[in-house]
Structure 1
Amino acid sequence: MFEADAAPAAPAALPQNPDVGTGIDVVFPPENRQLIERIVRSGAVVSQFPPGLRPSKTSFPVRNAVVAGLSSASVIIEAEELSGTRIEMDYSLEFDRPVLLWAPVLGSRPWARSLAAAEDNVHLVCSASEIRELAFQH
């Protein structure tokens, strides 16, 4: 499962079933409309919020918890220190789900080096095939 705002960076070979941080009928950001329509044709878009709910500071962290809970693993390609991706990653670890950390992130994010050294359930990955292998064995 990918968050709708992260789907463009996702490896094309992986399934894309985004969970959105809005009502199912609200596309956010609006420029993602074509992406969401493409995903609807080949997968599913999931929302835990009522129709019409606009994006808010609180809706996205809730979405991140749901993404972590529904996913077999969280793939972290890039994340700022204080980001929704980091929130999802923390929930994944709390829910005992593996975190698959894109290896190049170690060079650009100090938090990634600390996390990889401290957590047993964080795995470094360098390719889509490694992601598929690790994500679906747990």
Structure 2
Amino acid sequence: MKKSILLIFVSLLVFSCKNDKNKTSETESTFIRGEFILIDNAGVIKGKDFIYGVVIDGMANQLHQKVKPLQREEYDMVPVVVKGVIRPNTEEGWPEVVEIKEIVGVSEPTSELPTKIKSSDNSGHENHGHSSGENHKGHSH
């Protein structure tokens, strides 16, 4: 009898702690490491196994100002570490959004820029997207 009362008490304690953890996780800040971009009032943080929309507020705009000088081109994503609250998205877009609470760090992108392939109307001609007036190293025109 004592064992069953103890078992019930322990299981109630475990379940009540589990419920509290779920309630506080919506307001608790989490460290998030990923690549950030903000374009036309739409922000994204992309990690190895997640993509979050970003709540556009003062902190998101502050992060954008820190990231902008490090972007090599308009659509370049920049590595960041932020502390934020992740919650379900009630609007259109990504399933989850992050509200940035603290900017921990911003660093320069380390990967090379993606190779751009330009399509040519002259299919079958091997000009590799270059016009005859362009001057490039390794090519003689």
Normalising by the smaller structure, the TM-score range is: under 0.3
TM-score, normalised to structure 2, is 0.21
More strand as a share of residues: 2
Pick the structure with greater CA Rg. 2
TM-score, normalised to structure 1, is 0.21
